[in-house]
Chains A and B, each alone.
Chain A
Amino acid sequence: MSRPTDLVQGTLNLLVLKMVALEPMNGFAISQRLKQVSNEVLQVTDGSLYPALHKLEQEGLIKAEWRQSENNRRARYYSLTRLGRRRLAQEREAWDRLSAAISMVIRLREA
């Protein structure tokens, strides 16, 4: 029920990697940003972001550390590792290829 499909999962990973690539972010910020960019696409509860984050962390793609945030609060900040940077490039390339292919297919004119 709360298990995202493989496509969505893969997309989620790509999105998360992309976001933390811009700057180190905490979970809440990532989830807010995700909602902003794709509220309609990702029909998942806020909490299901965390297993995905932990999975990426366990794979060594992102790393986490506790940091002082605004108004003196501790939060867990995720940032991209070198491994993650490489993976992001790969995923992006794959995504580009896939979306290009799909775009081409759906733009085919019916004969």
Chain B
Amino acid sequence: MRIERWFYIVPLRLRALFRRQLVETDLDDEFRDHVERQTEEYVRQGASPIEARTRALRAFGRVDLHKEAARDARGVAGIEHAVQDVTFAVRMLKKSAGFTTVAVLTLALGIGANTAIFGLAQAVMLRSMPYAHADRLVALYETDTHGALVGISKLDFQDWLRQAHSFAHIAAAGWFGATITRGTASSYVPSAQVSPELFQVLGVKPLEGSTGATTGQSVVISERYWRREFGAGHVIGQTLVVDDTGRLITGVMPAQFDYPHGVDIWIPQNMIPRVNVARTIRYWDMVADLKPGMTVDAAQREMSGVAARLAATYPTTNAGVGAKVMTLQESLIGDVKPTLLLLTGSAVLMLLLACANLANLMLVRGVARRREMAVRTALGATRSRLQRQLLTESLMLAVGGALLGLPVAVWGSAALRSLPQVRTLQFELHQSNLTLLLLAAAITMLTTVVFGMVPAVRAARVDVVTNLKEAAGRGVTSINLSGGLVAGEVAIATILCVGAALAMRSLSRLEGEQLGFDPDGVVVAQGNLTRGARGDARAPMIRRILDNVRQMPVVASAALADAPPFTNRNASTVIIEGEPSGETAHWHQALERTVSSDYFRTLRIPFKQGRDFVPADAHGEPCVVVNESFARTYLSWRAPVGAHIAQPEMDSTQWAAYNRGQVTWSTVVGVVGDVRDVELGTPPQPTVYSAYVQHPDLGYANIVARTRASPTAVASAISGSVKTVDPLADMRVADLRDYMQRAVIAPRIRTLVLAAFAALALVLASIGVYGVTSHVTAQRTAEIGIRMALGARSFQVISAVAGRIAMYSCAGLLIGITGAAVAARVIRALLYGIGPMDVAAFAGGGVVAMGIAAAAAWIPARRATRVDPGAALRSE
């Protein structure tokens, strides 16, 4: 039965759809045939032909109505109407191209920008780690006497292992730089000593081989290293020479396993110290997985108890040392939280603004179309037909905007992901984006459609005749709604403008900071300069390279440094002769840097006391240079030059030697000025500079050179000069200014994003204000005409027209300033050199937002005064 029915229906429907012309002709023919026969019938009954035809037509009824009904009967009317609606909508949207462009752009940016930013925030804050049971992973720290987080020492680790019961496994990892030798080339690879449990704690299976073998000399490599160095070939069982020790490769870890961050080589090692190492050497990172049902708080309580017991047992080393348990996620992303909060907040505001703007645009447009709606109702359009028409139009706008939002989202995500500060985070971004895209799209599209339907609702409610008579009508209710939207838009724009102003002022404070050295004209050659040498051959080679560079005519001075400015430096433990030994309080922290003679001259770091390193130091007593902070913090009790300090390495033999009173003391020979060469925005820290010539085992060095020409012009010459000594050298030669730029990239990008948000907010808000004012003006054209005719001044007219808008804008400004004050407090950690209530930023942001709003209201209001009173009066 069913099938038989389709057998009749399908061809008919297809014919109706695709042979529309033919079907229509058929209908015409059929009707004509009917009327002709009826006419003949009447003629036969005795009527005159003309009269017969008139009667036949009258009896037939309204041809167009029957035709329409016959079309409806075909069952394809829905599709035909939809096609009509779409065609009409396209025509209407084309006619008001400005409106369409603005609405579509608002949608695209609202959807796209928000998806990109929300996606990032969500990925980092909610589901950042690609580990099984990521919610149960915690990081463990010891806290020093000041409450600051520090790593854990091997001995404390042993005690923790024995006493802690909150965790299923506990693992430790210690970062170090390993020298890997393959054939003639050697390279420096970030590595970690790890306890074998690390792989179980994080619950990641190896890509190849296993991580189980803990006996013997084994090594696990990263997927990245495996692909780069071994071409992803067969490696399990091969030997890798790590720090001159051959180790068997037992496993390859997948890319997602990135702990400690950036490490390529893991050396599984049982954490049992062979000799009596110091309990105070605290640098191991710890991760653990909570037992099921265990909470972070409960674990914290237990560990605080353990730390208190240790402090009682070992008062000299552990007094005041506490324990800290936090989720691994918090430990990894802790400091990006304010940034993400900022981005998310801005994105939410943008979404609100976009919605407010769309609502406003649709409302204003709807009121402008009341007459059109009235005319169409009068011509016989049914209510549902009008609603469908408007729905089609709104949907087309919404869909167009959403479609454009997609590439914006994709591009925005890619741009955000490529930011250096984002790249260092560990997360997966791709899956979450679709949901977010749909969410943002749904909200904005819904707004468009809902407010787009307003005219249809009105058309249904309002009497056609009244509407036609009143033309544009009074529409006071819509003005109240629009006014509220204007206030909201101005408020949001103000918040974002103040935010951008705060960020800009922070950035300029940061960049205007005193560096303490002169980075202009300095070139840095960083990398593996002695790639062609091995072991002891490296030190002579680096000397020859330095001599070569120094002899270049364009080089004014050159020096070696273990790490160039603005790259990370190692912290080390320092003890000072003359202070009581063996107590925690006298283990000082200092940044450590190894440099050759002329380093300070090359960077123009001034000497405050004493002297620079000299070549004779190679065979003299061990010596160091310290910075002013070091002298002030640790040596205030004596003259710094001549003091003896020691930097025991993190290894057991030196500690044992120290305990026997056999520590190697170095003499402070000079004090240099403080420099900000780690991160802009952090104050200089106590620093010890060691003499390069006294550490010939350091084969890896970078060259800093002050040049007489522009750094970019000299770069290739310096590279060439290095290669004459070591053709295998692998390096990057860059302007020191580039390193500086990278040091402020996070605040720079934050500022840029905020400024972009603020600019966008201003554009959207000004469109909103402009739209509402134009609309009010248009509605009051006649009134304005009368006023002008009666002699009103243009100022009076403007204030009459724009007065309410100004009132709403001022309310918005107040709300915005309040909101900005709250927001600034939340993100105060991101500010530098200014307080969260920075008057200049608030004033600047407020003035810009208000100025733009005023301009947007002024233009249409001003136009109203140019109205010809006569024309205005006739306009209704």
Contacts and interface: CB of A to CB of B under 8 A. Distances in A.
Partners in one complex: yes
A28 B60 contact: no
Interface stretch (A14-22, A75-83, A99-107): A75-83
Contact of B30 (A27, A32, A52, A81): A27
Contacts of A2: 61-62, 65
Contacts of A47: 31, 34, 60-63, 65-66
A60 B62 contact: no
Interface size class of B (residues with CB under 8 A): 20 to 34
A46 to B, nearest CB: 5
Given A26-B33, A76-B29, A46 B60 contact: yes
Contacts of B70: 50-51, 54
B8 A83 contact: yes
Interface stretch (B72-80, B383-391, B537-545): B72-80
B9 A58 contact: yes
Interface in A20-60: 26-28, 31-32, 44-48, 50-52, 54-55, 57-60
B7 A60 contact: yes
A74 B33 contact: yes
B9 A76 contact: no
B4 A82 contact: yes
Interface in B4-19: 4-5, 7-9, 12-13
B59 A76 contact: no
B33 A76 contact: yes
B37 A28 contact: yes
Given A45-B60, A47-B61, A48-B66, A81 B38 contact: no
Interface residues of A, number: 29
B8 A28 contact: no
Contact of B9 (A31, A32, A59): A59
B73 A51 contact: yes
A109 interface: no
Contacts of A44: 61
Given A58-B73, A76-B29, A82-B4, A45 B38 contact: no
Interface in B25-43: 26-27, 29-31, 33-34, 37-38, 41
A25 to B, nearest CB: 12
Interface of A is mostly: helix
Nearest to A61: B8
A59 B8 CA distance: 8
B30 A51 contact: no
Interface in B673-704: none
Nearest to B72: A51
A37 B59 CA distance: 17
A28 B30 CA distance: 9
A66 to B, nearest CB: 8
B59 A45 contact: yes
B180 to A, nearest CB: 80
A54 B27 CA distance: 10
A48 B30 contact: no
A74 B29 contact: yes
Contacts of A83: 1, 4-5, 8
A73 B7 CA distance: 30
A28 B69 CA distance: 18
A31 B1 CA distance: 30
Nearest to A52: B73
Which of A54, A63, A82 is most buried by chain B, counting CB atoms within 10 A of its CB?
Answer: A54
A32 B8 CA distance: 27
B12 A58 contact: yes
B33 A27 contact: yes
A10 B581 CA distance: 109
Contacts of B4: 60, 82-83
B785 to A, nearest CB: 43
Contacts of B7: 60
A28 B34 contact: yes
Interface in B49-75: 59-63, 65-66, 69-70, 72-75
Contacts of A74: 29, 33
Nearest to A54: B73
Contact of B69 (A46, A48, A59): A48
A73 B37 CA distance: 10
A54 B12 CA distance: 10
Nearest to A57: B12
A75 B61 contact: no
Nearest to A71: B40
A7 to B, nearest CB: 18
Which of A31, A32, A47, A57 is most buried by chain B, counting CB atoms within 10 A of its CB?
Answer: A47
A90 to B, nearest CB: 12
A41 to B, nearest CB: 17
Contacts of A26: 33
B356 to A, nearest CB: 44
A45 B30 contact: no
Nearest to A75: B33
A52 to B, nearest CB: 8
B74 A58 contact: yes
Contact of B33 (A58, A63, A73, A81): A73
B30 A76 contact: yes
Contacts of A58: 9, 12-13, 73-75
Contacts of B33: 26-28, 73-76
A46 B38 contact: yes
B74 A54 contact: yes
Contacts of A31: 34
Which of B9, B41, B60, B73 is most buried by chain A, counting CB atoms within 10 A of its CB?
Answer: B73
Contacts of A73: 33
Contact of B66 (A32, A51, A60): A51
Contacts of A76: 26, 29-30, 33
B31 A50 contact: yes
A48 B26 contact: no
Contacts of A28: 33-34, 37-38
Contacts of B75: 58
Nearest to B58: A45
Contacts of B62: 2, 45, 47
A2 to B, nearest CB: 7
A52 B59 CA distance: 17
Contacts of B72: 51
A32 B34 CA distance: 10
Contacts of A46: 34, 38, 59-61
Contacts of A57: 12, 73
A76 B37 CA distance: 13
Given A60-B8, A81-B8, A50 B30 contact: yes
A65 to B, nearest CB: 11
A55 B29 contact: no
A58 B26 CA distance: 15
A49 to B, nearest CB: 9
A91 to B, nearest CB: 16
A24 to B, nearest CB: 14
Nearest to A3: B69
A44 B62 CA distance: 11
Contacts of A52: 73
A2 B72 CA distance: 15
A44 B8 CA distance: 28
A60 B34 contact: no
20 contacts: A2-B65, A28-B38, A31-B34, A45-B62, A46-B59, A47-B31, A47-B34, A47-B60, A50-B30, A50-B66, A51-B69, A51-B73, A54-B70, A58-B73, A60-B7, A60-B8, A74-B33, A75-B30, A76-B30, A81-B8
The 7 closest A-B pairs by CB, nearest first: A45-B61, A60-B8, A51-B69, A47-B66, A55-B73, A54-B73, A47-B61
Interface of B: 1, 4-5, 7-9, 12-13, 26-27, 29-31, 33-34, 37-38, 41, 59-63, 65-66, 69-70, 72-75
